[in-house]
């Protein structure tokens, strides 16, 4: 492609952000971090009390690493958490605005570059962007507020106590000064010894349904994603990725491709080959002309994968134990399976990288900027400080961007051509070299007593790696835990009024990479457990809602879970008359601290080709602790329900002849507008004084809620995902 005759200025917009980094910034002050809570050495006690044992974040950075106040009285917040749609920027901005006593508009959210800005020691994921940062961020922002106040008092010659703060302006005795002016004039930045955060009754910003702070750029289509970034002289490149699983690159013949129009170079590294050219379409043409020899270790087929995943095949670990194990004939026993699934986030993986003799910069859509920096530095033989990772907005993450080895490839390609390169996956690459949600197999057994109560329940889950092998997990922790959290999460039995409980997690190594998928384990496990609970309710001749309520404990968590069940059921019209042909199905989940219940209103329709399941409405009640932004919570619940519905109803990845199938949207069926319920009603029950996770929990119950409704309506029990396919099978 030759240069267009009239280049558009709009591209340059994306870089204006960079200049913020060199604006006047305030001096340093140190705030004391929070202690890190230790890990209880008793493994099962850890499994059983996970929520109280998760390490808390400590912020030991100076406030000035996080915040900049500029002369024009704007506040820039360099967020170590990335914005991937979950609304983290909005919630964090609200928390900061609250303590800094400013309107939300004054806070400008930026992704923290790894060069001198806060680096997340973990990742953006696990639904903890708000919950983990809530306490330390408040302290940090309150500390900054106090420092500004103390300086203002000195400049104005009044006592700090007499100052009034209003949206970035400080006044006393008829005199006033802005935060920006204080920052320009002050030269003493001493961290206050003690920082007092605001009392909840004084909150003005936290708890309000403020529109998300990134709303307008997203409505105007501004170039905020990594794929939108451009650097001077930038070339385009694509890595040729293996067409099969369990396959390595051997050697490539690129003699034809090298001569094709627009091609600058074919870069051959030890484990990959990439084509570099002047435009993406020219590179796309040329990669088809490269002959690559691949070595596939073994031919894998779907039956084999399913067989490997079966309970009893890998290694097991007891996760939950209550009362005794009951081994006798005649237990009620069923099996459930869920397929591998793709994240299928809309923005493919990739980055814009520029490597020079002693420095590398990457613009990348990643959930792990710190890990990415380390990996790129290692690959280039650089110190970590020589590599700057500038995260951008993510066009969806869901765990797919928890590992971004593609950044290493981009850096090596840039180094090889001595220019900036734009390296992004094709959609086929994105599917083919996915790290999937692992397929799972569940065996559930139970015994009912003569009153129709559950006397014993046993759950076994078996699946491939989820958190194990991921760069955010550590080998040591894996050894210590023994079981993969990403497999068993969501599989514990919350119905602890059942006197005897056993839950085992089985773990297998699959021949393809598997990882976390929005909520690790929660979707598969909740489907199995909550479908089984429904089967038991029917076997006992009890109402599925009542049956759940009587088995939940009376402790605080149990009460909260009962409350969401009742609220969702009532709002959905449980037990009431519904329009002709419609029924309700209910399911709940209480993994970690958040509790949620979902009710699906379902009918069976016929489109002329056959009967199909139609979900009309989903009613959810969620208790996610204290709420920072009710509209943000609603959006996350709606999105989680929709993604969970899509995965439970339609999505499936299979391996045949070692090939991943399918590799394109459409055949990989994601719910579309026509499949979406007309309404998703969200009831928020607020509790406690800490925000809890919101992004993942809604994924859990929806599959079972739909399946349970289908059973009520048709008497057919669906024990396999995806439901649409299973329904067609059992109906024919």
Partner 1 sequence: MKIQFKINGQAQTVDVDGKTPLLWVIRDLLGLKGTKFGCGKAACGACTIHVDGNAIRSCSYAVKFAEGKEITTIEGLSDGDNLHPVQQAWKEEIVPQCGYCQPGFMMATAAMIEKIPNPTDEDIDNNIINICRCGTYTRMRKAIHRAAEIKNNNA
The residue ranges that bind ligand FES (CB under 6 A) are 85, 346, 396
Enumerate the β-bridge partners of residue 81: none
Q: Which is nearer to ligand FES, 322 or 426 (CB)?
A: 426
**Token representation of residue 468:** 């194990």
Least distance CB 215 / ligand FES (angstroms):
12
Which does residue 314 bind out of partner 1, ligand FES, none, counting CB within 5 to 8 angstroms by kind?
A: none
Residue of 156, 206, 519, 641 interacting with partner 1 (CB under 8 A): 641
- d(Cα 403, Cα 397) in Å, to the nearest integer? 10
User: What is the contact mask toward partner 1 in residues 192 to 211, using x (rule: CB under 8 A)?
Assistant: -------------------x
Least distance CB 710 / partner 1 (angstroms):
21
Q: Which is nearer to partner 1, 220 or 357 (CB)?
A: 220
Per residue, the 3-state secondary structure of 179-200, as one string, reads HHHHHHHCCCCCCCCCCCCCCH
- d(Cα 81, Cα 53) in Å, to the nearest integer? 21
Q: Tell whether residue 679 is a contact of partner 1 (CB under 8 A).
A: yes
Residue of 223, 341, 369, 521 interacting with partner 1 (CB under 8 A): 223
- d(Cα 232, Cα 234) in Å, to the nearest integer? 5
Q: Which is nearer to ligand FES, 85 or 703 (CB)?
A: 85
Task: Report the interhelical angle of 544-551 vs 556-572 (nearest 10°).
Answer: 170
Least distance CB 393 / ligand FES (angstroms):
10
In the range 418-437, which residues lie near partner 1 by CB under 8 A? Answer: 424, 426-427
Q: Tell whether residue 225 is a contact of partner 1 (CB under 8 A).
A: yes
Contact 330, 510 (CB under 8 A): no
Contact 64, 95 (CB under 8 A): no
Residue of 671, 692, 705, 718 interacting with partner 1 (CB under 8 A): 671
Q: Which is nearer to partner 1, 181 or 601 (CB)?
A: 601
Among 314, 726, 704, smallest CA distance to 525 is for: 704
Which does residue 233 bind out of partner 1, ligand FES, none, counting CB within 5 to 8 angstroms by kind?
A: none
Q: Tell whether residue 368 is a contact of partner 1 (CB under 8 A).
A: no
Least distance CB 665 / ligand FES (angstroms):
7
Which does residue 381 bind out of partner 1, ligand FES, none, counting CB within 5 to 8 angstroms by kind?
A: none
Q: Which is nearer to partner 1, 62 or 339 (CB)?
A: 339
In the range 66-105, which residues lie near partner 1 by CB under 8 A? Answer: 84-87
Task: Report the interhelical angle of 369-380 vs 406-417 (nearest 10°).
Answer: 40
- d(Cα 402, Cα 394) in Å, to the nearest integer? 12
User: What is the contact mask toward partner 1 in residues 384 to 403, using x (rule: CB under 8 A)?
Assistant: ---------xxxxxx-----
User: What is the contact mask toward partner 1 in residues 651 to 670, using x (rule: CB under 8 A)?
Assistant: -------------xxx---x
Per DSSP, the residues of 643-658 read: HHHHHHHT--BEEETT
Residue of 59, 92, 177, 224 interacting with partner 1 (CB under 8 A): 224
440: enclosing H helix or E strand: strand 440-448
Least distance CB 650 / partner 1 (angstroms):
12
Q: Which is nearer to partner 1, 163 or 516 (CB)?
A: 516
Which does residue 225 bind out of ligand FES, partner 1, none, counting CB within 5 to 8 angstroms by kind?
A: partner 1
Which does residue 370 bind out of partner 1, ligand FES, none, counting CB within 5 to 8 angstroms by kind?
A: none
Among 217, 203, 213, smallest CA distance to 92 is for: 213
Contact 190, 150 (CB under 8 A): yes
Q: Which stretch binds partner 1 (CB under 8 A): 1-9, 96-104, 519-527, 530-538?
A: 1-9
Q: At 238, is the secondary structure helix, strand, or coil?
A: strand
Contact 440, 370 (CB under 8 A): no
Least distance CB 334 / ligand FES (angstroms):
35
In angstroms, how far is CA 106 from the centroid of its own chain? 28
Least distance CB 263 / ligand FES (angstroms):
23
Q: Which is nearer to ligand FES, 398 or 711 (CB)?
A: 398
- d(Cα 564, Cα 558) in Å, to the nearest integer? 10
The DSSP 8-state label assigned to residue 619 in this structure reads: E
Which does residue 424 bind out of ligand FES, partner 1, none, counting CB within 5 to 8 angstroms by kind?
A: partner 1
Q: Tell whether residue 516 is a contact of partner 1 (CB under 8 A).
A: no
Per residue, the 3-state secondary structure of 296-332, as one string, reads ECCCCCHHHHHHHCCCCCCEEEEEEEECCCCCCCCCE
Contact 606, 568 (CB under 8 A): no
Residue of 168, 314, 585, 640 interacting with partner 1 (CB under 8 A): 640
In angstroms, how far is CA 702 from the centroid of its own chain? 18
Q: Which is nearer to ligand FES, 396 or 693 (CB)?
A: 396
Q: At 692, is the secondary structure helix, strand, or coil?
A: coil
Least distance CB 135 / ligand FES (angstroms):
29
Place of tokens 């939940």: 552
- d(Cα 626, Cα 636) in Å, to the nearest integer? 15
Contact 337, 460 (CB under 8 A): no
Least distance CB 124 / ligand FES (angstroms):
15
Which does residue 71 bind out of partner 1, ligand FES, none, counting CB within 5 to 8 angstroms by kind?
A: none
Residue of 381, 606, 678, 732 interacting with partner 1 (CB under 8 A): 678
Which does residue 250 bind out of partner 1, ligand FES, none, counting CB within 5 to 8 angstroms by kind?
A: none
Q: Tell whether residue 612 is a contact of partner 1 (CB under 8 A).
A: no
Residue count (the chain): 732
What percent helix, strand, coil does the chain show, rounded to 5?
35, 25, 40
Least distance CB 218 / ligand FES (angstroms):
8
Least distance CB 385 / ligand FES (angstroms):
34
Least distance CB 401 / ligand FES (angstroms):
13
User: What is the contact mask toward partner 1 in residues 320 to 359, using x (rule: CB under 8 A)?
Assistant: -----------------------xxxxxx-----------
Q: Which is nearer to ligand FES, 87 or 396 (CB)?
A: 396
Residue of 212, 419, 459, 548 interacting with partner 1 (CB under 8 A): 212
Least distance CB 473 / partner 1 (angstroms):
25
Least distance CB 146 / partner 1 (angstroms):
34
The DSSP 8-state label assigned to residue 34 in this structure reads: P
Q: What is the CA radius of gyration of the chain?
A: 27
- d(Cα 518, Cα 714) in Å, to the nearest integer? 31
In the range 448-467, which residues lie near partner 1 by CB under 8 A? Answer: none
Binding residue count for partner 1, defined by CB under 8 A: 78
In angstroms, how far is CA 143 from the centroid of its own chain? 30
- d(Cα 406, Cα 408) in Å, to the nearest integer? 5
Residue of 24, 42, 71, 215 interacting with partner 1 (CB under 8 A): 215
- d(Cα 569, Cα 521) in Å, to the nearest integer? 25
In the range 4-63, which residues lie near partner 1 by CB under 8 A? Answer: 4-12, 14
In the range 269-298, which residues lie near partner 1 by CB under 8 A? Answer: 279-281, 284
Among 148, 211, 213, 212, smallest CA distance to 181 is for: 148
**Token representation of residue 243:** 């067409």
Q: Which is nearer to ligand FES, 396 or 439 (CB)?
A: 396
Q: Give the angle subtended at the CA of 681 by the CAs of 677 and 683, to the nearest 5°.
A: 155
Residue 108 to residues 73, 228, 290, 602, Cα–Cα distance (Å):
11, 20, 46, 43
């Amino acid at each position: 492609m030759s240069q267009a005759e009239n280049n558009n200025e709009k591209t340059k917009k994306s870089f204006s952000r960079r200049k913020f980094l060199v604006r006047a910034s305030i001096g340093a002050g140190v705030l004391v971090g929070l202690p890190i809570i230790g890990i209880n050495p008793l493994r099962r006690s850890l499994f059983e009390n996970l929520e109280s044992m998760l390490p808390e974040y400590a912020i030991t950075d100076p406030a000035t690493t996080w915040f900049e106040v500029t002369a024009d009285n704007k506040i820039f917040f360099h967020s170590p958490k990335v914005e991937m749609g979950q609304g983290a920027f909005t919630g964090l901005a609200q928390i900061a605005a609250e303590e800094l006593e400013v309107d939300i508009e004054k806070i400008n959210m930026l992704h923290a570059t790894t060069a001198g800005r806060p680096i997340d020691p973990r990742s953006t994921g696990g639904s903890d962007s708000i919950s983990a940062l809530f306490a330390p961020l408040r302290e940090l922002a309150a500390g900054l507020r106090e420092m500004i106040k103390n300086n203002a008092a000195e400049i104005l010659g009044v006592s700090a106590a007499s100052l009034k703060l209003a949206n970035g302006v400080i006044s006393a005795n008829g005199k006033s000064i802005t935060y920006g002016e204080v920052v320009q004039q002050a030269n003493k930045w001493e961290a206050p010894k003690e920082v007092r955060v605001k009392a909840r009754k004084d909150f003005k910003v936290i708890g309000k349904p403020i529109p998300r702070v990134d709303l307008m750029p997203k409505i105007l289509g501004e170039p905020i994603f990594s794929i939108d970034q451009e650097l001077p002289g930038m070339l385009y490149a694509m890595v040729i990725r293996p067409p099969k699983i369990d396959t390595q690159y051997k050697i490539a013949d690129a003699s034809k491709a090298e001569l094709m129009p627009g091609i600058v170079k074919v870069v051959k590294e030890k484990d990959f080959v990439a084509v570099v050219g002047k435009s993406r379409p020219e590179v796309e043409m040329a990669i088809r002309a490269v002959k690559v020899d691949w070595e596939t270790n073994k031919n894998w087929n779907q039956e084999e994968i399913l067989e490997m995943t079966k309970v009893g095949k890998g290694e097991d670990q007891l996760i939950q134990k209550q009362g005794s194990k009951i081994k006798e004939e005649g237990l009620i026993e069923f099996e459930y399976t869920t397929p591998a699934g793709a994240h299928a986030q809309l923005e493919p993986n990739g980055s814009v990288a520029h490597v020079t003799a002693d420095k590398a910069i990457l613009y990348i859509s990643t959930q792990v900027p710190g890990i990415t920096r380390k990996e790129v530095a290692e690959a280039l033989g650089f110190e970590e400080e020589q590599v700057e990772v500038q995260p951008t907005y993510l066009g969806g993450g869901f765990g797919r961007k928890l590992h971004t080895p593609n950044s290493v490839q981009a850096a090596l390609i840039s180094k090889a051509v001595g220019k900036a390169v734009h390296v992004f996956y094709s959609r086929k690459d994105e599917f083919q070299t996915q790290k999937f949600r692992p397929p799972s197999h569940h065996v559930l057994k139970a015994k009912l007593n003569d009153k129709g109560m559950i006397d014993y329940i046993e759950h076994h889950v078996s699946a491939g790696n989820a958190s194990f092998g991921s760069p955010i997990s550590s080998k040591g922790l894996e050894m210590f835990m023994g079981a993969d959290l990403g497999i068993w999460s969501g599989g514990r039995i919350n119905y602890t009024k059942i006197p005897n409980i056993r839950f085992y997690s089985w773990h297998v190594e699959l021949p393809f990479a598997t990882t976390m998928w929005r909520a690790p384990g929660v979707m598969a496990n909740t489907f199995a457990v909550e479908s089984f609970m429904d089967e038991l309710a029917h076997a006992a001749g009890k109402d599925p809602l009542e049956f759940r309520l009587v088995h939940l404990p009376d402790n605080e968590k149990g009460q909260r879970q009962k409350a969401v069940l009742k609220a969702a059921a009532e709002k959905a019209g449980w037990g009431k008359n519904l329009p002709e042909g419609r029924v309700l199905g209910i399911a709940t989940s209480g993994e970690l601290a958040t509790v949620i219940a979902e009710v699906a209103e379902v009918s069976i329709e016929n489109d002329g080709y056959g009967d199909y399941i139609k979900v009309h409405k989903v009613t959810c009640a969620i208790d996610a602790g204290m709420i920072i932004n009710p509209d943000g919570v609603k959006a996350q619940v709606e999105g989680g329900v929709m993604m969970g519905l899509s995965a439970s109803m339609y999505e499936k990845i299979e391996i045949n002849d070692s090939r991943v199938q399918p590799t394109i949207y459409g055949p990989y069926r994601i719910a579309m507008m026509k499949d979406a319920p007309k309404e998703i009603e969200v009831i928020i029950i607020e509790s406690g004084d800490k925000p809890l996770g919101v992004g993942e929990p809604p994924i859990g119950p929806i599959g079972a809620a739909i399946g349970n409704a289908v059973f009520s309506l048709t008497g057919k029990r669906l024990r396999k995902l995806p439901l649409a396919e299973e329904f067609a099978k059992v109906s024919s």
